[in-house]
Amino acid sequence: MRREDRFLMTTRNVEDYLETIWNLHSKKGYIKVKDIADKLGVSRPSVSEMIKKLSENSYILYEKYGGIVLTAKGKKLAQEIKKRHTLLVEFLKIIGVDEQNAQQDACKLEHDVSSETITCLLEFVEFISLLPESSKWKENFQEYLKKRGLLKKKQ
Ligand code: MN
């Protein structure tokens, strides 16, 4: 990454920050710059700079010695990302990806998929969840993966 790219307000950057702020808020109730830096693996000055930009763009409210709070606009986007994340994790697990990889990859995919793909995935996950237990699709599919040597961990 070029140095001047560090603080760019890319969609991915904004979404990663808002998702992280949302998760930290849900887990701890308060948010510190250090927590965001740890979670995203970036430096504290980078976080501070981004916090300023998110605040200028009305995604969050931020007081220097106070806390970080999502605005309605920020919350809406954060919830959208979170929804996409959960859906992608569910889908990836259905096709045999283990929990850890599913979580990591969902965070990459969630920024780049079209709304058409999201809608189709949502319908697919829903469809699968409506199949009767007796259809044994999951067992059959896992059996198939095993035969192909592709099932690493038991889901
Ligand atoms: Mn994510």
Tens of pLDDT, residues 95-118: 989 999 999 999 989 988 888 999
Is the pLDDT at 79 greater than 70? The verdict is yes
Q: How far is the CA of 135 from the centre of ligand 1 (A)?
A: 31
Q: How far is the CA of 103 from the centre of ligand 1 (A)?
A: 7
d(CA 50, CA 44): 10
Is the pLDDT at 92 greater than 90? The verdict is yes
Is the pLDDT at 153 greater than 80? The verdict is no
Q: How many CB atoms lie within 10 A of CB 67?
A: 13
Q: How far is the CA of 82 from the centre of ligand 1 (A)?
A: 6
SS3 18: helix
d(CA 93, CA 146): 15
Q: How far is the CA of 101 from the centre of ligand 1 (A)?
A: 12
**Averaged confidence pLDDT in the chain:** 87
Which neighbouring-strand residues pair with 142? Answer: none
What pLDDT does residue 8 have? 63
What pLDDT does residue 139 have? 87
Residue 54: band (very low, low, confident or very high) from pLDDT cuts 50, 70, 90:
very high
What pLDDT does residue 151 have? 72
- Token couple for 9: 């307000």
d(CA 101, CA 89): 9
Q: How far is the CA of 40 from the centre of ligand 1 (A)?
A: 11
Q: How far is the CA of 147 from the centre of ligand 1 (A)?
A: 31
Is the pLDDT at 4 greater than 60? The verdict is no
What pLDDT does residue 98 have? 92
Backbone angles phi, psi at 61, to 5 degrees: -110, 135
For the entire predicted model, the pTM comes to 0.77
Q: How far is the CA of 83 from the centre of ligand 1 (A)?
A: 9
User: Could you identify the residue written with the tokens 């058409």?
Assistant: 116
Q: How far is the CA of 134 from the centre of ligand 1 (A)?
A: 33
Which neighbouring-strand residues pair with 60? Answer: 70
Q: How far is the CA of 42 from the centre of ligand 1 (A)?
A: 16
Which residues are CB-neighbours of 39 under 8 A, at least 6 positions away? 20, 23, 24
Contact 110, 85 (CB under 8 A): yes
Q: Give the highest mean pLDDT range of 2-6, 10-14, 52-56.
A: 52-56
Which neighbouring-strand residues pair with 41? Answer: none
Q: How far is the CA of 106 from the centre of ligand 1 (A)?
A: 6
What pLDDT does residue 21 have? 94
